[in-house]
């Protein structure tokens, strides 16, 4: 009796794992554009999927020598990735890291520029 219940549990677990793998494959296929109905990946981005530091450096590169404020950076990222829940803490940490590594500078309070 106990062995049968245990076997049933294991079978349910196996079925769930198989379903999960199938869903993950389908999701990858949809996001990579390999299916007939592909979507814009940015519309379905998972918060961990974007590299915030890269996005910030790209935005600062577009802004040029005059630089851009933190509020404008947040606005541009939220516009590009509407489903990404960007908070001030994440942004502050990313800006501090990029500044410490020398990829960006902060010549005027609140304005950031990309280092060449």
Its pTM stands at 0.55
Residue 2: pLDDT band with limits 50, 70, 90: low
Average pLDDT over every residue of 8-31? 85
For residue 65, the model assigns a pLDDT of: 87
**Model confidence over 71-81: pLDDT tens digits?**
898 888 888 87
For residue 68, the model assigns a pLDDT of: 92
| CB environment 33-52: b (16+ within 10 A), e (fewer) | eeeeeeeeeeeebeeeebeb
- Token pair of 93, please? 């940490």
**How is domain 45-114 classified at the architecture level of CATH?**
Orthogonal Bundle (1.10)
Q: Structural domain boundaries of the chain?
A: 2-39, 45-114
Look at 97 and 45; give whichever has higher pLDDT.
97
**Model confidence over 82-91: pLDDT tens digits?**
777 777 788 8
* DSSP-derived pairing of the beta strands 68-69 and 104-108: unpaired
């Amino acid at each position: 009796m106990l062995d049968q219940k245990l076997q049933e549990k294991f079978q349910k677990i196996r079925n769930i794992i198989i379903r999960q793998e199938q869903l993950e494959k389908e999701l990858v296929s949809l996001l990579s554009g390999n299916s007939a109905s592909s979507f814009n990946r940015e519309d379905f981005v998972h918060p961990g999927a974007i590299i915030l530091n890269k996005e910030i450096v790209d935005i600062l590169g577009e802004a040029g020598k005059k630089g851009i404020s933190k509020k404008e950076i947040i606005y541009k990222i939220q516009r590009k990735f509407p489903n990404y829940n960007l908070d001030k803490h994440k942004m502050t940490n990313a800006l501090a890291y990029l500044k410490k590594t020398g990829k960006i500078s902060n010549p005027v309070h609140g304005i950031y520029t990309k280092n060449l």
